[in-house]
Amino acid sequence: MATLLVIMVLALVSVGIGSFQCDRAAERAAGQERAFMAGDAVVQLEIRNGSGIPGLAADLSLILGRAGATAALLANADHDRYQHSLLVNRRLDDASAHALAARLGGLPVLMEFDPAAAADAVLILGNDHDRIRTALLTTESVH
């Protein structure tokens, strides 16, 4: 009987810890969202197509406003074999860059700070570009 009681207590504690970790992750995401939405300026993105699909950068630029961003420049990436899309942060604070990456489908963020850059960040489109489109079409518009 004592063994059963110990197992039940351990199960409740582990469920509580898992719930606590999920709550902390949700709080962190909400904080990033608030940080992103707190800025009044629209994020200027350079969109580079690294997927090899002609016109992809232009197509996605049409729905970027839903993430609080606009396309400052459309171009091809240095090659067309990017397997994964990513966001290169040039001028945004860390919280804003990660909030934007979350709105774009949970993209990884690479920091390459350059205050002289023409755009706040560079969105490189890879073969997983559909996750960006899905994220943009299923989220509420920021601005």
* Rounded average pLDDT per 10-residue block, the chain, 143 residues: 50 45 45 46 95 96 93 96 97 96 97 94 98 91 64
Residue 86's pLDDT is what? 98
Residue 93's pLDDT is what? 95
What six digits make up the tokens of 106?
A: 């949970």
Residue 2's pLDDT is what? 56
Nearest C-alpha neighbor of 49 from the set 24, 14, 78: 78
Residue 139's pLDDT is what? 77
What six digits make up the tokens of 120?
A: 């706040």
C-alpha span between 98 and 104 (Å, rounded): 10
Residue 41's pLDDT is what? 80
Residue 43's pLDDT is what? 96
Residue 5's pLDDT is what? 46
Nearest C-alpha neighbor of 49 from the set 71, 76, 82: 76
